[in-house]
Structures are given as structure tokens and as C-alpha cells.
Amino acid sequence: MGVPTLGCHCAVCESTDPRDNRTRPSVLLSYEGHNVVIDTTPDFRYQAMRAHIDRLDAVIYTHAHADPILGLDDIRPFNLKQRGVVPIYASAETLATLQVQFSYVFKEALPESTVPGVELHEINGPFDLFGLKITPIPAMHGSQPVLGFRFGKAAYLTDFSRVPESSKALLAGLDDFILDALRYVPHPTHSNVEQSLALVREVKPKRAWFTHICHDLGHSDANSRLPKNVRLAYDGLAIEVQV
């Protein structure tokens, strides 16, 4: 829902620490002149301006809930500037949902106004994106399958409640692991702080970054309770990754 959460006046929502302002989770992979985003949130336009993105080369989706997809319409300026479609990579299930949620994009009749120009690519295993190998990490988000992604020595896994053993093997040897930790209290479809710490102990990354954090966690207070190699991520955080 983002922090501040609409209508809420709790200490975290009213915090003056900029790291307590959280737009919906997404990451930008920038390498060799290419920009690839994982998920287009309802905050995508603002996030893209904040990150000074001048081009967008591809979008990868984790799943098709509202928060990771609703910013798709805002890729249109990149279609116009780049005079072309933006490739989209997602599971078959996510692509099917995208075509329902954004039916106006996929209608055959020519629209009167601009619509996002996309080219759909189904993820069936590791794939190459402009020379970077992206490995999907299947996980469960309640009863819904989702994908995390590994790129070199880093992985991004948001919106999950359970990681199968076969996926834990794909998370071995990471320098940086960015993962869901919604809140302290258990949640039916999200990993909480305790569960995410247990996963970090299992897959042993050098560093872990918690994301998809709700207003139950204040940045500095939560960080003070975590092991030194586990930190809350925050909007605008940039890390260098070995690929």
C-alpha cells in the first residue's frame, strides 16, 4: 500500500526519516547502457523520474497482482522516444493475467490514443537479457506461484510466503539477497521478519536487504534489531552487483 499508508497516522507513517517513505517495491537493473525494471508499480512514473531513467529496455514481472503491474501504462513515453515496443518477460500465468488486466493494450482494433507497446516473452527457465543471464526463482505467494530473479551474485525475491527446496539451491552463493519481509506479525501470503531471517540463515548470502515492508517497521528501529548483514532496503538504495 506504500508508506505513509493512506489515512494512517502511526509513528512510521508520520516519521520524518526519508527512509520511512516507501513506494511500492520494484528494482532497476542498469548495466552497459541498458535499463531493465522488475515490476512496474503504480509508482513507476515517479520512480523512473527519481532514478533519471532516459530509456527502458525491458520489463520483467514477478507476478500479476495490482502492485507489481499497475504502472505498465506509463512505459508509453519510452515507446515513443525509442520508437519501438518494450519486451516484457513473465511466466505464462502472469502474461495471461496482464492480457486481462490491460485488455485495451492487446485489443486488435487500433486505439484512438497511445497504448503501451509491448512484446511478450514467456519465461520458461534462465534467459539472456542484453548479455545478462537472468535465472527465475519459483516461489509461492500464498497459493499463487510467483517468480524471483537471480542476476549474477544478487537475487530479488519479493511477494513470497514459501520457497521450495529446489529454489533455495538457486539462491546459493549470493552476495546480495533482496527479499520480502512485510512485517513482524505472520501474514498468509508474505514472509515476515522472522521467516525471512530464517531463509537468510539457510541460503547464507553475504548481505540481505528486506523489501516490501509495511508501516509496522520503522527504518532505524527495525535495523537496530537485525543482524549486521541484514538491513531494511529503502527507496533509492543503489547497490553494485557482480555479474
User: Contact residues for Zn ion (CB under 5 A)?
Assistant: 5, 8, 10, 13, 65, 159, 215
Residues 130-162: b if buried by 16+ CB within 10 A, e if exposed:
eebebbbbbbbbeebebbbbbbbebbbbbbbbe
Question: Closer to Zn ion at the Cβ: 35 or 158?
Answer: 158
Task: Let me know: does 128 contact 34? Beta carbons within 8 Å.
Answer: no
Question: Closer to Zn ion at the Cβ: 35 or 91?
Answer: 91
Q: How far is the CB of 101 from Zn ion (least distance, A)?
A: 13
Q: How far is the CB of 64 from Zn ion (least distance, A)?
A: 9
Q: How far is the CB of 82 from Zn ion (least distance, A)?
A: 29
Q: How far is the CB of 5 from Zn ion (least distance, A)?
A: 5
Instruction: Look up residue 122 and give its DSSP letter.
Output: E
Question: For residues 111, 115, 121 and 122, what is the CA-based torsion angle, rounded to 10 degrees?
Answer: -80
Question: Closer to Zn ion at the Cβ: 100 or 110?
Answer: 100
Question: Closer to Zn ion at the Cβ: 159 or 235?
Answer: 159
What distance in Å separates the CA atoms of residue 111 and residue 6, rounded to the nearest whole number? 34
